Each structure stands twice: as structure tokens, then as C-alpha cells.
Structure 1
Amino acid sequence: MIKLGLFSLMGLYDRNTSPASVIQTTLDMVTMAEDLDFDIAWFAEHHFTNHSICPDALMMVTRAAATTKRIRLGPCVLPLPFHNPLRLVQEVAFADLLTGGRLALGLGCGYQPYEFDRFGIDPRHKHDMVLEIWDILEQGLRTGAIAHKGIFFQIAPTELPMRPFGLDLPEIFAVSTNPAIVARAARGGHTPFMSFGHRGLAAALQKRRQIADGWAGAGGDPENMPLAVQRFIYVTEDRSEALHAVECVRNLSRAEHNLRGAAVDKDGPFVRLMPFHDEPPLDDFLAHAVIGGAEYCAEKLTAEIAALKPTHLSCFMGLAGIGRKETLASMERFGAEVLQLLEPVLKARGLADAA
């Protein structure tokens, strides 16, 4: 069954944007996503730049839990190398309690050298750290206790009073193409999570094949592999609004390119948005994103669902630089028009109840 997710990066567009307004818009979007029967709302975690003002996704999870009733909530991702696992397992267990069992977990490695440098962590070890912290996290959540001797962490036997034995493990999504991490997801029956990016369907299919190879290498069936796919989506019939949304997608890509470098070019906390090497023209960004009228968006998503075969569609709908009113109007069009047009596709794949 395919499920719909809402992803919130919570970027700060400029110095005239209020961080409080970013939080409120995000909460408004989560409320609307629940009204539209989305399955889950995801919150990013990043540090030290305006790329995202959210340094603790679990805090946003618990904040959103107070104003919602049904929608599941999760960090995407928890960059595991940045977290002390003994503290993290307590925070995750407590968040699961505060959400009434609605917690899901997106686990990842981190990708920004600036963050690793500021936390004093060698990024060469990040994949091994993720696997070890993942083991600790699952042990604590499954049993309510931890005892661990590993390469990076040694934890004496420790009990978790907020995590009684026998509770179900939150659903886990692994955001990585690293073969060892994909294999760990396959062995545990967890879901790989990939971002579509700005390069188009061919590049997305290549990434899917890379994940499927890791899945098969661990003995999983790549034909029946669960998969979450994230897409930029903005629904509007107005050409000028569509072009502005595409510029926001390009700005996001420029920021990410900058943040992947060894040295971040920034002005205070604001990442400079400079064109990157081999940057495609704006028309390519428009062609590769799901931005436009309802029929166009539905047709594009239909083709991508057929090609990528996701079980979870994560909708990145709150782009920095687009106002609250416009963002919510786009979401409303998505719920009222796009999902209705997608219904035959969802039914054909046995997925009708996702809409």
C-alpha cells in the first residue's frame, strides 16, 4: 500500500523571514496534511545554517503531536553520528510515548562536512557509526534496556523506564544508498528512502537500482522492495507562481551543493546561492520537478509511480521563499484535485486507500 508523507525542511529564506513564522507555517501544513489523510509528516534536522532552522526533529515531532490526532510523525532524518546513542534512545522512546505510538523514524548519516566539523566527528566513519548506533537504538526500543560493547560506544547495562518490554518498534526508514546500510534495512524489513532530487527520472531510476542492488545483496527481493521516494511538489495554474517555485527549487539545490563542499560559502548563517558546476538551466528544473497545474502534476506523478514503484510518496511542498498562503493553497489543490486524478493509478496498484 502506498502512503503519503509531508516533508518539512523548515528553511529560513532571508533575514526578513521570522523563524517563528516558519514553525507556524510548518504546523499549519501538518494540520492540513492530516485533514487530507496523509499517513505521516516528516521533519528534517540540520545545524548551523539557514538551510533549516530545526536542529532537533524530535522536538518538532512532539510539538506537532499536540495539535494533531491521527497522522504519524517522524524525523527525516535523524543524522545518527551527531547523537549520543544512550541519550538518543531515551529521547526516541519518550517521543513515542508523547505521540501516543505515532512515531516513525527516518535514520541517516549526515552529508554536510560543516556539521561534522563543528561536532568534531570524522565523516569517514559515519556509515560504521550509523550501523552501531542503529543497533543500540533497536536494542533499547525492543527490550527497554541496553548493554553494548562496540567500536565507537561502550554502554554498561542500562534500563529505560519509559520503554516497557514488548512495545512495537516504530517503523524505520533508511535514508542512504550505502550498501551496508541498505543491507541492514533489508535484513530488518525496513524501508529505504530516496530523494528524487533535481536531475530527472533517469537519475532517480539509477539511484533506485543502486538501492535495489544493496537490497538484493542482503538476500532481499528487489521486485518487492519497499521504497519511499521524495518529490518537490507545487500545484498552481499560474505560470509566474510556477516559475517562482522552480527558482526556489533551484535555490535549494544551490544551497545543498554549497553545503556538500569542504568549506561553506555563507554570510553569517545564510548559505550563499551561487550557480554550481554543470547546473542545468531553469527549464530543466521545471521539467524535472512536479510543479504546475493539477492535471500536469497528476500525469507526472503517475509516470514516476509506474517507473519507481514506491510504497511511500514523500511530498516536499513547503519551499523556502514561498509564502504561507501560497504554500497552503498549493497543498489544498493537491488534496482536492491531484489526488482525485491519481485515484485510478492508486486503484490499479491496489493503493486507493492512500488517497
Structure 2
Amino acid sequence: MPPFHNLDDNPTLALQRDFQLMEHLDHLGFDEAWIGEHHSGGLEIIASPELFIAEAAARTKRIRFGTGVVSMPFHHPFMIAERIIQLDHQLRGRLMFGAGAGSLATDVYSLGLEQTEIRAKTDEALDLVLRLMKGEVVSKTTDQYVLREARAQLRPFTRPHPELTIASTGTPSGPRAAGKYNGGLLTLGIAAKPGTDFLGDTWRHWSEACAEYGNTPDRSRWRIAGPVHIAETREQARKDVHYGIRDWMKYLRLSPAFKAFAPDIGEKTPDEMIDAFLETGTAVIGTPDDLIAHIEKLWERSGGFGCWLDLTPNWADFAQKKRSYELIANHVVPHFQEMNAGRQQSFDWAEGKREELYAARVEGVNREIAKWERKSAQ
């Protein structure tokens, strides 16, 4: 979750709802939540995923948290390493370290960086952070920062470091970094350009980089994210989404990473925006069965992946958003984790034995009745 919030939301209360949502997801049994870093545009208001995660982890019991992601060119590598190591200890292994270049062009511009250099800076910073986490003493001078015999005071709680995942938003740099540093991959599905084999290309770049650096790509470490809202019926889901679809679509078109995908909303009604968005094939606004079909389609197109993530757009109000996750937990998760396979097999077996066992039961009851009738007659 970035997360997104409408421009007229009270930001203080919005953050509190985000924490409440983490507690709700933990209660429902969701596996993990990823918190983004953003600094402009108005809708994504969490500037430090580490600060948010520290509070959210204290409120929850088992759900894991990932930085989704730390924008590497925005920070001194030494400070990134120090913060992630400390947070790993605070969470006692529930932390995942997500890294990337930063997807918002306005963030890059505000910090005086150039789009043409942020990916190289990400690679450079990630190398230094991982070396520091492994206990190396690092000296490095760049045009952006200096490290002089820098060393982390602590080793991570998780050895050699928290699970590493690299963001992938449409260029080869993300999957290539995942291959180079033996990380997992977090692919933003809405970054797919129409008419391209985005998922196939992502896997190819990842595999090629792994081969180049002596690592092995692991589909179980591939996460694919996309926006979803679920209700009991498609009609109700569409009605719920009227709440926030316009602000979200307007915001999406601000980002060069997503502008090519986001339909031009112009004077469109909410339902017309929903139709235009669904035509891209990157989102679900419907029922649990619609989400199941969508994930299965992604599975076929990608060749398989380990985790599907909801991008958590602020499409519906808070009560409807929580209900969406309840429906996912109750109907979608059991389908893919085959939670009820044994129950269904047992039911089918019992149904198949029904006539045979009913007849045996009737015979047993009749014999018992007859036995007691004979005793009574004596």
C-alpha cells in the first residue's frame, strides 16, 4: 500500500485509519503489507515507511512488513543501512527490505536529481547498504555522499539481512538489480504498457541477470501488485468505487510511469472511468470470483509467482475497504491456498457413501428395535 488518500481527507485521521487497517489485515490472517515512500503529489502522504512500520508492527502480532520501497537515491546509504538494521531488531524478523529508484518524477525533481541518473544511483547505494549490513567497513566518495571507514554498529536480527526485494515498474533495471543482488522482485502490474509482454520481459531480464551474477531466479519471491476492490456483487463494487475513483485517476496521470496506462478521464462519469480502467486488464472491481479469475490469468501470463499484493487504492470508504479485505480473506485466500481441499474431499466422500451408510444405519436401528421388542415380549 502506498497508501493513497483523497485530497479532502484529514491527513491525521487518514494515517490512523492506515494503522487500523494494518490491525484488521493482521486479524484476517494476511501475510504481509508493504509501505511506500512518497514526498509529493498530495495523495501518498507517508514520507518514511520505517516510521510507519515501527508503529504498525507494535499494533500487530504476526503480519510481516516491507518498505515498499525505500527510494535509494534520496538517502545516504549509511543511514538507510542503520535504519533498516534497527527496524529489523524492533520487528524481530518480521521486516522485509524493499528498495527502488522512486517512481514519482516530482520527488526526483524536488530533490534536484535527474531521471537519467536515479537507476545508477540506486544500484550504487544498494551495493553499499548490503555491504554495510554484512559487516563490511566501507569507504566511498561520490558526487552525492561520502563514507569514510563506515561500519554498522549492529548486525541485522535477520542474517545476513532482511529479505531483499527490488521494485520493478517497467524498465529492465529493477529485475536486473534483483538478479545481481539475489533479491526478490515486486512488480507493479499497472506499469505494464499496452501491447507488451510486460511480465514475460520482467522474468527474462531477471533470469538473465541471475545467470550473469551466479544467482537463481525464484518465482516464489516474485510479488505482483495491482489495484482491487471487492464486494458481494459487481454492481455494489462499482457503486463503492464512486467514492474515490476520480481523485485516484487524476493522480495516476501525474506520474510518467503510469500516464501511458491511465485513461484520460476528461468529463467521464465514475462508471465510464471504471469501464475505461477495467479495459486495461490491470485491475479488479467486482466479486471474489472476479479476483480469482484475474489472479489465475496473471499466473498463466507470468508463468507463476509467489505473492499477489493489493495496491490499496483509496477507491471506497473505510468500511467498504475493510469489507473488501474480509471477502478476499474468506473466499479468495482459501481458493489459492487450498485451505478447504480436505474438507471438500471429505464432503464428497461422505456424500458418495450416503446411501450405503444410510441403509446400514436403518438396518442397525431396526435390529436394535427388534431386539428390544423381543425382550419386552418375554
TM-score class, shorter: 0.7 to 0.9
Matched, 1:312 2:307: yes
Does the 8 A contact of 1:90 with 1:160 survive in 2? Answer: yes
**Take 1:35 and 1:223, find their aligned partners in 2: how far apart are those partners?**
29
Query: What is the CA–CA distance in structure 1 between the aligned matches of 2:255 and 2:301, rounded to whole Å?
Result: 30
Read off the aligned partner of 2:254 and give its amino acid letter.
N
SS state of the match for residue 258, structure 1? coil
The 3-state SS of whatever aligns with 1:105 is strand
Check if 1:286 corresponds to 2:275: no
Instruction: Label 1:345 to 1:188 Cα distance change in 2 as closer, same or farther (>3 A).
Output: farther
Counterpart of 1:332 in structure 2 is 326
Structure 2: how far apart are the matches of 1:293 and 1:165? 40
Matched to 1:51, the amino acid is L
SS at match of 1:93: helix
Aligned 8 A contact 1:142 1:165 in 2: no
SS of 2:160's equivalent? Answer: coil
- Report the equivalent of 2:28: 36
- Matched residue SS, 1:228: strand
Give 1:91-106 correspondences, 5 Å limit: 91-106=83-98
**5+ long unaligned stretches in structure 2:** 267-271, 342-378
Structure 2 CA distance for partners of 1:346 and 1:183, relative to 1, 3 Å: farther
Q: Report the Cα distance in structure 2 between the residues aligned to 1:47 and 1:164, rounded to whole angstroms.
A: 28
Please say if residues 89 and 157 of structure 2, whose CA atoms lie closer than 8 Å, have aligned partners that are also in contact: no
Alpha-carbon distance between aligned partners in 1 of 2:218 and 2:90, rounded to the nearest angstrom:
36
What is the TM-score of this pair, normalised by structure 2?
0.76
Aligned: 1:139 with 2:135: no
Equivalent residues of 2:163, 2:183 under 8 A apart:
yes
Whose relative contact order is higher, 1 or 2, with alpha carbons under 8 Å and at least 6 apart? 1
| Superposition map of 1:199-348 within 5 A | 206-218=197-209, 219=211, 226-244=221-239, 246=241, 248-249=244-245, 251-260=247-256, 275=265, 282-286=274-278, 288=281, 289-308=283-302, 309-317=304-312, 319-344=313-338
Aligned pair in 2 of structure 1 residues 225, 240: CA closer, same or farther (>3 Å)? closer
List gaps (5 residues or longer) in structure 1. 1-7, 265-272, 348-355
- Aligned partner of 1:10 in structure 2 is 3
Count of residue pairs the alignment pairs up: 323
Shift of residue 129, structure 1, vs aligned partner = 0.2
How far does residue 152 in structure 1 lie from its aligned partner after superposition?
Answer: 4.7
Following superposition, the deviation at residue 98 of structure 1 comes to: 1.5
Q: Secondary structure at the match of 1:167?
A: coil
1:71–1:102 CA contact under 8 A, matched in 2: yes
The partner residue of 2:71 within 79, 84, 106 is 79
Shift of 1:188: 2.7
Q: Alpha-carbon deviation of 1:342?
A: 3.2
> What TM-score, normalized to structure 1?
0.80
Measure, in 2, the Cα distance between the counterparts of 1:244 and 1:115: 33
The answer to whether the 8 Å contact 1:191/1:226 transfers is: yes
CA offsets, 1:188-219, max 9 Å, x none?
Answer: 3211211111869x76x711122222223221
1:197 and 1:246 mapped to 2: Cα distance? 18
For the Cα contact (< 8 Å) 1:58–1:75, is it kept in 2? yes
Residues 85 and 156 of structure 2 are in contact (CA less than 8 Å); yes or no, is this contact kept in structure 1?
A: no
